[in-house]
A and B are shown apart, each in its own frame.
Chain A
């Protein structure tokens, strides 16, 4: 944001309470201690503290480092200079899916959880479509109502233009300043901010790839990503391997409907070669909650014989002890089924039947 000319408070990151204290000393302890974790709701969780002395800064850092916010661990804190906030706004540039455009969201209820404002006081939120190059004059007119002070208004316009530029040049899906603070001295400062990058845009911006923070993902999600698999960890007992995102979601839903719980979402993708299947199985097996593996393949571009080969490779190399329930339909299904049958594995043709079998196996396993 600094690069784009937006003013942000001075600060430094600390990983220990000692470091936090020495950074806080630069401002005589008049600082804000902010837990660094990639989720919202930090304030409510007690991961942001405004303090007045070095000792307080140390104590707060001690408490915040090591806590968890929404199950994510806080490993470091940002110590920033305390600014005297007179009033606060919420500002965001994001995608409006329905309008198919970039939109500016503004609320005078800054610092608050915007979802809550949207639910309880929707009239406090205003939206404006942003083109690639909006005219500063028309933006100023639109903002005048929210910033009655001419000095503030003159600062707000370039901040929003900069957010729009940042959003577009770096292929973001969200650039949010919350709160945008007006200081006692009349200066507009981005007191806190959140930027979300569009995953599809990251390959176009190699300089941004190194900002990726793997703490946001589980180890399994990271390995899956590297292998080109789409994976999300869940908390259930049935490991799923499915081709296609929609079918993978429908499989999870079907498991729930049949009384079971899915351990994950896993889309092995379109052209699943045997190695990809092997990696997928390796990731599934690392989960010690796992009771059953459910493989649901509808072959289109994916060939059932490739998947069968992958399953057999996995069985040989990984020593699979949990039961597998396999459903194979589509391209080369006969060859796939034959390969499995020769190895003593049976594949069903019905998705519902496979799901019900997997749920029964998982429940049987729980009893034993």
Chain B
């Protein structure tokens, strides 16, 4: 029945009065997501479209019964916004904002470890369970309900993959953009475990890229703990070392983070690694 978000998810938009926040609040509503309100400090009492605005997350939760929050606030306030949502008791926080200093994330990840909250992102497109709930900025119409779980470090590349899945008649259970930063809230491992448990999901697509060693760790995990079919694509095979390729986390540095090691580790774990995004549907079939 999909993972992370579904028809029961009640979404709060932090930064709802901003340009991006208001635009995507409406687009999520149009997709059918239960958006229940928004938060902008100092603007409590206003409305954005049909949605009430509150000053704090705690207040918004009490009034609306929200259980998920999506963050669109500017980078310098984003860590605080995540903290506020976690402290108020929101169980799923999705941070779209790009540009958080990495030290904000080392602090946050240490703090959140002891709290009953899951963070997705930052610097991510969000999460969608097609036909049920979209929490993020992805174009909803390219998705289709089905059995493929998608985990990705990228935005548009995920759309590319989803589009080719949908065109081939393969729907998706849930698609998660985990974010392009060096340190993120939720990585491959937790999501692989959830997809492994999820009844609706019968195969998994993993879209990785250069930088760090998360794909190598995912490979180890898949080898021991994932029985469902996994197909992967790694971008950045031709990226030069030492240069940041758009995403803050997409950099080959200190001899680490290259694509080849990732491809090899995944293949060794029995994952089918394809050379082009449009080969994914064929590899899943």
Contacts and interface: CB of A to CB of B under 8 A. Distances in A.
A97 B249 CA distance: 9
Interface in B207-247: 207, 209-210, 212-214, 217, 233, 235-240, 243-247
A360 B265 CA distance: 33
Interface string B64-102: 000000000001100000000000000000000001111
Contact of A330 (B102, B142, B240, B278): B142
Contact of B238 (A173, A198, A247, A253): A253
**Residue among B106, B182, B249, B275 with most chain A CB within 10 A:** B106
A250 B75 CA distance: 27
A115 B154 contact: no
A245 B247 contact: yes
Given A248-B245, A252-B239, A300-B155, A173 B102 contact: yes
B47 interface: no
A246 B180 contact: yes
A24 interface: no
B278 A246 contact: no
**Residue among A118, A198, A203, A247 with most chain B CB within 10 A:** A247
Contacts of A243: 156
A78 interface: no
Interface in B137-189: 137-139, 142, 152-160, 163, 180, 182-183
A336 interface: no
Contacts of B106: 95, 100-102
A252 B245 CA distance: 11
Given A246-B209, A298-B163, A100 B152 contact: no
Interface of A, secondary structure class, is: mixed
A200 B76 CA distance: 10
A210 B239 CA distance: 29
B110 A101 contact: yes
A245 B154 contact: yes
Nearest to A243: B156
A246 B155 contact: yes
Given A100-B106, A201-B101, A232-B243, A246 B139 contact: no
A267 B277 CA distance: 18
A265 interface: yes
Contacts of B125: 300
A330 B159 contact: yes
Contacts of A256: 237-238
B238 A246 contact: no
A214 interface: no
Contacts of B243: 232, 265
B237 A98 contact: no
A322 B214 CA distance: 40
B101 A253 contact: no
Nearest to A101: B106
Contacts of A299: 139
A100 B185 CA distance: 10
A171 interface: yes
Given A246-B209, A352-B278, A298 B160 contact: yes
Interface residues of A, number: 53
B115 interface: no
A257 B137 contact: no
Given A351-B160, A351-B278, A100 B245 contact: no
Given A171-B101, A267-B246, A331-B139, A246 B152 contact: yes
A114 B255 CA distance: 11
Given A244-B154, A245-B250, A298-B163, A250 B277 contact: yes
A129 B192 CA distance: 27
Interface in A102-120: 102, 114-115, 118-119
Contact of B245 (A198, A204, A249, A301): A249
Contact of B156 (A201, A247, A262, A265): A247
Interface of B: 75-76, 99-103, 105-107, 109-110, 125, 137-139, 142, 152-160, 163, 180, 182-183, 207, 209-210, 212-214, 217, 233, 235-240, 243-250, 254-255, 275-278
8 contacts: A95-B183, A100-B106, A100-B109, A118-B254, A119-B255, A232-B244, A250-B157, A302-B156
Interface of A: 95, 97-98, 100-102, 114-115, 118-119, 132, 168, 171, 173, 198-201, 203-204, 230, 232, 234, 242-250, 252-257, 262, 265, 267, 270, 298-302, 329-331, 350-352
Given A244-B155, A246-B235, A298-B160, 18 more contacts: A95-B183, A98-B214, A100-B109, A100-B183, A101-B110, A198-B103, A199-B248, A200-B101, A230-B246, A232-B245, A245-B155, A249-B246, A253-B238, A300-B159, A301-B137, A302-B156, A330-B139, A330-B159
